Amino acid sequence: MIDIFIEDLNQKFSFNEGITLKDILKNLNGKFKDVVGGKLNGEIIDIHTPINQSGNLKFLKKEDKDSLEILRHSLAHIMAQALKEIYGDENVHLGIGPTTEHGFYYDVEIEGKRLTDEDLPQIEEKMKEIIKKGYQIERFELPREEAIKFFENKKEIYKIDIIKHNIPEGEPISLYKQGDFVDLCRGPHLPSTDKAGAFKLISVSGAYWRGKETNPMLQRIYGVAFWSEKELKDYLNMIEEAKKRDHRKIGKDLELFLIDEEIGGGLAIWLPKGAIIRKEIEDAWKKEHLKRGYQLVYTPHVGKEQLWQTSGHLSFYQENMYPRMQIEEEGYYVKPMNCPFHVEIYKSKQRSYKELPIRLAELGTVYRYERSGALHGLMRVRGFTQDDAHIICREDQVEDEIREVLNLALNTLKSYGFDEFEVYLSTKPEKYVGDDKMWEVAESSLRKAIESTGLDYKIDEGGGAFYGPKIDVKIKDAIGRLWQCSTIQFDFNLPERFDMYYIGEDNQKHRPYMIHRAIFGSIERFIGVLLEHYAGFLPVWLSPVQVKIIPIADKHLEYAETVKQKLLENDIRVELDDRNERMNKKIRDAELQKIPFMLVVGDKEAETGTVAVREKGKQGSQTLSIDEFVSKIKEIISNKHAL
């Protein structure tokens, strides 16, 4: 017998081992009609899978986000079935069909057919037919040899490969059946095909079996799926909108940065205009950190092998690091993190309890290995700049420090125009280092800090790193996408490994608390997010060119030059368009460059010492004296306004 506590009923039941969610629901006399699956001890299960362990069960309904996993995985099967019906059972060999963040894909081999986007509508139609037919989805198990024989008969060579190489001997081999279609699968699946929601097939591309170039190339068909048509439509609109805002295109059009194969994938070069954006962000960051009692430091880009051994990076982080360099008799590594250097700064002299907290901050560029296929503009690079800081403090300071960091993070992100956040707290995992009391102090300080902000948060129970609990903050951009930015991470590992201590009031050595924290995470990525959030129309304080002066004719150039000088004296970034072009062309070009202000000057302006101001997003123009305009734009800049 097993004991199952059903959260939805707030009641504990005893069942025979091997009972399914389907049986449980039957016992409840159909009281829960809209259940599509469940969550057993945190793991998603479907109504078909035998339950062999006691624990906590929560019913999953459509409104639970986890239920999407079941929907999307079932749609992968429905798509596979459709392909078999269209191209013939014996011609379609199935690879793997997992879920993705917004949908699913299936890798397939189709003899004699290379799919293109034009084939997708027909496949969609067939899928809709299968959904309409409402096949019951059934689960069954086969002994290993029988399962292999079953797939041999169907020429499903990839399924056999999976059984032989991915399913350990002795483990049950489960299959799912809907109509005539049978697939090797662990689940989870819907009760029947007509429970499937709204979907769309998006694209088809090549994918090597098991990602290996020496293996056959299969065809990967991507789909997206949601429970309702509206959610699907919103998502597709968002994707369209995201394409228009692609920071790689904006970066190119506005000449902000350069990522080029000749330099190396994932290695960004900041062009003059992009460098201004970055400088503004970095200046504001430094100013705010100094104000809040951080000390700025600079550390090298490489460090000795021994340092990375002591820090543990060579044992648990090496796959993300670039290979060893030999310099004279020593090995060196390019840094994937700044932490060990900051620890060395702390350790460079004996520290007293009176000196704490010590807050060391650095815009430190780190290098991490990313697969070339995963690189994406500024969002996923191989070299990036962390807005990093390490706080080293006493136990009685932990709570204040964490609250301050979270406050700094949220205020900073708000100053860039983000006002929707998702906050996550990750707590102690099964395997961990450090003593329990320190974990308790750390977790409670994180919790209290979040609660003091009044924000909702999600707890990832047991999801923390082995060396400490953390808070993650995601921001929501203008089209509803979430981006991971801030992290506040305790570390009980490095202080031990580096034997960090301070001399307490009692004249004894004490282990300090250590906190890693970043607000943007990566400056490169954050600028990518900003460009997409604002669709390139950055707030005035960040705009590389804040004002474009447009003389109507050559004879107005001299006055235009006077206006330019006046703006430069006031630290306003200004360009004068002295090309021999028509005024309308100049205005259009300035618009394409997403410049927030244009000052048109002609006879009237030159005579009266004024400028005709055209402001982004506003119709027509407004005539102001030069001084009036200067004070207007200065106020907008100092308030970090977006137009």
Catalytic site residue from 386, 397, 489, 546: 386
- Residue from 219, 250, 249, 223 nearest 236 by CA: 223
**Beta carbon nearer to Zn ion, 176 or 270:** 176
CB of 80 vs Zn ion, minimal distance in Å:
9
**Beta carbon nearer to Zn ion, 265 or 336:** 336
Catalytic site residue from 102, 313, 368, 382: 368
Backbone φ, ψ for residue 224 (5° rounding):
-120, 150
Catalytic site residue from 107, 178, 339, 397: 339
- Look-up: residue for tokens 């992290």? 487
Task: Single out the segment in contact with Zn ion by CB under 5 A; choices: 30-38, 240-248, 333-341, 619-627.
Answer: 333-341
- The answer to whether residue 446 forms part of the interface with Zn ion (CB under 5 A) is no
- The answer to whether residue 71 forms part of the interface with Zn ion (CB under 5 A) is no
Catalytic site residue from 126, 313, 359, 390: 390
The per-residue DSSP string of 473-510 comes to EEEE-TTS-EEEEEEEEEESSHHHHTT--EE-TTSSEE
**Beta carbon nearer to Zn ion, 382 or 516:** 516
492 close to 516: Cβ distance less than 8 angstroms = no
Tell me if residue 390 is catalytic.
yes
Write down how long the chain is.
Answer: 643
489 close to 516: Cβ distance less than 8 angstroms = yes
**Beta carbon nearer to Zn ion, 516 or 614:** 516
Task: Single out the segment in contact with Zn ion by CB under 5 A; choices: 31-39, 62-70, 191-199, 332-340.
Answer: 332-340
CB of 373 vs Zn ion, minimal distance in Å:
25
Catalytic site residue from 93, 470, 525, 614: 470
Tell me if residue 622 is catalytic.
no
CB of 565 vs Zn ion, minimal distance in Å:
46
**Beta carbon nearer to Zn ion, 477 or 491:** 491
Strand order in the sheet with 547-551: 574-576, 547-551, 597-601, 610-615, 622-625
CB of 568 vs Zn ion, minimal distance in Å:
41
d(CA 425, CA 483) in angstroms, rounded, equals 16
**Beta carbon nearer to Zn ion, 343 or 531:** 343
Ranges of H-type helices in 575-620: 583-592, 603-608
Tell me if residue 386 is catalytic.
yes
**338-357 binders of Zn ion (CB under 5 A):** 339
Sign of CA dihedral 96, 99, 101, 107: positive
Distances 476 to 143, 304, 363, 376, 422 between C-alpha atoms, Å: 48, 40, 24, 19, 8
CB of 515 vs Zn ion, minimal distance in Å:
9
Tokens describing residue 602: 């002609």
Task: Single out the segment in contact with Zn ion by CB under 5 A; choices: 7-15, 511-519, 543-551, 616-624.
Answer: 511-519
Query: Which of 516, 533, 564, 614 is the binder for Zn ion (CB under 5 A)?
Result: 516
Tokens describing residue 448: 């209290």
CB of 499 vs Zn ion, minimal distance in Å:
17
Question: Residues in contact with Zn ion, total (CB under 5 A)?
Answer: 3
Strand order in the sheet with 325-327: 302-304, 330-334, 325-327
d(CA 150, CA 159) in angstroms, rounded, equals 10
Task: Single out the segment in contact with Zn ion by CB under 5 A; choices: 334-342, 563-571, 579-587, 631-639.
Answer: 334-342
Tokens describing residue 407: 């406050």
CB of 495 vs Zn ion, minimal distance in Å:
12
**Beta carbon nearer to Zn ion, 516 or 556:** 516
CB of 135 vs Zn ion, minimal distance in Å:
14
Residue closest to Zn ion (Cβ): 185
- Output DSSP code: residue 375: -
d(CA 148, CA 103) in angstroms, rounded, equals 29
Distances 191 to 77, 131, 159, 454 between C-alpha atoms, Å: 13, 12, 23, 40
Query: At 273, which helix (H) or strand (E)?
Result: helix 272-291
Q: Helix/strand/coil (H, E, C) string of 209-262?
A: HHHCCCCCEEEEEEEEEECCHHHHHHHHHHHHHHHHCCHHHHHHHCCCEECCCC
CB of 632 vs Zn ion, minimal distance in Å:
43
Catalytic site residue from 64, 107, 387, 388: 388
Catalytic site residue from 195, 516, 533, 594: 516
Where does 271-403 show beta strands of DSSP type E?
Answer: 295-296, 302-304, 325-327, 330-334, 358-367, 383-393
Tokens describing residue 14: 């005893």
Residue type, 535: A
514 close to 500: Cβ distance less than 8 angstroms = yes
**Beta carbon nearer to Zn ion, 247 or 516:** 516
- The answer to whether residue 185 forms part of the interface with Zn ion (CB under 5 A) is yes
d(CA 166, CA 310) in angstroms, rounded, equals 36
**Beta carbon nearer to Zn ion, 276 or 389:** 389
**Beta carbon nearer to Zn ion, 340 or 551:** 340
d(CA 598, CA 576) in angstroms, rounded, equals 10
Task: Single out the segment in contact with Zn ion by CB under 5 A; choices: 230-238, 365-373, 508-516, 581-589.
Answer: 508-516
Per-residue contact track with Zn ion, 75 to 114, x per CB under 5 A? ----------------------------------------
Tokens describing residue 624: 């102001």
Tell me if residue 394 is catalytic.
no
**Beta carbon nearer to Zn ion, 74 or 546:** 74
d(CA 258, CA 244) in angstroms, rounded, equals 19
Tell me if residue 470 is catalytic.
yes
CB of 438 vs Zn ion, minimal distance in Å:
17
CB of 343 vs Zn ion, minimal distance in Å:
9
Active site residues: 339, 368, 386, 388, 390, 470, 516
The binding site for Zn ion (CB under 5 A) comprises: 185, 339, 516
